[in-house]
Amino acid sequence: MDLELAGKVIAVTGASRGLGLKVAERLAAEGAAVAVAARSAGELAAAHAAIEAHGGRCLAYACDLAVAGEAAAFIASVVEIFGRLDGLVCNAGMAPGAGEERAAWQAALALNVGHTAEAIEAAAPVIAAAGSVLLLAGRREAGEDWPAYAARAALGEMARRFSEELSTRSVRVNLLAPATEDAGALADAAAFLLSVRAGRISGATFVA
């Protein structure tokens, strides 16, 4: 199925490895130009090469998305370099284990929730009409403490709130909650939800 993503510009946070990288590679295979942001410059360089190997243009942007202002700067760089923004995937996150210190779960919430809100707010004025935003929630793991659950709940509410806010420009905002370890299948689902093939569905949580 042609997802009609060729020529689109899509920014993906937390895309130097794992699911974020799989999503970026899938988008590139569909012909999209992809901008990826993560903290590790070394992993980003490898991700950049992997994404371009799928035939897509790629911008690799090294930053710490837990730091205020970094997500907004990433979005600004994407628009400056590519001249447009058609989609945004917020994937960067971390999951502190049960019993970890307060500072650990505060840092997790700052990254998982804080960078997502900042990235969407930065993208809102510049994303193309009929564009799409997709939030990726971490997969539930055994031994999780309440901060991980709180972050997932916050992302769900964020998807609904921003869906309403951006509906005047027909920009869709949805949440994908992984229930499988099959990164390829999840990347397929993400690409579909970012495409026009997903129709006008917005403000929803999808479990895949």
Are the C-beta atoms of 100 and 51 separated by less than 8 Å? no
Structure confidence by residue, pLDDT tens digits, 122-174: 999 999 999 999 999 866 554 556 666 677 778 889 999 999 999 999 999 99
Give residue 122's identity as a one-letter amino acid code.
A
**What residues contact residue 197 under an 8 Å CB cut-off, 6+ apart?**
1, 3, 4
Of residues 197 and 105, more confidence is placed in 197
This prediction's pTM: 0.91
Per DSSP, the three-state class of 3 is coil
Q: How far apart are alpha carbons 118 and 102 in whole angstroms?
A: 23
Q: What is the mean pLDDT of residues 191-203?
A: 95
Closest C-alpha to 177, from 164, 161, 193:
193
Please state, rounded to an integer, the average pLDDT across all residues of the chain.
89
Of residues 148 and 45, more confidence is placed in 45
Per DSSP, the three-state class of 185 is helix
Which residue do the tokens 């699911």 mark?
Answer: 19
| pLDDT value at 114 more than 70 | yes
Fold classification of 9-207 is: Rossmann fold (3.40.50)
Of residues 26 and 92, more confidence is placed in 26
Q: Give how far Cα 152 sits from Cα of 50, 55, 148, Å.
A: 29, 33, 6
- Both structure tokens of 160: 């609904």
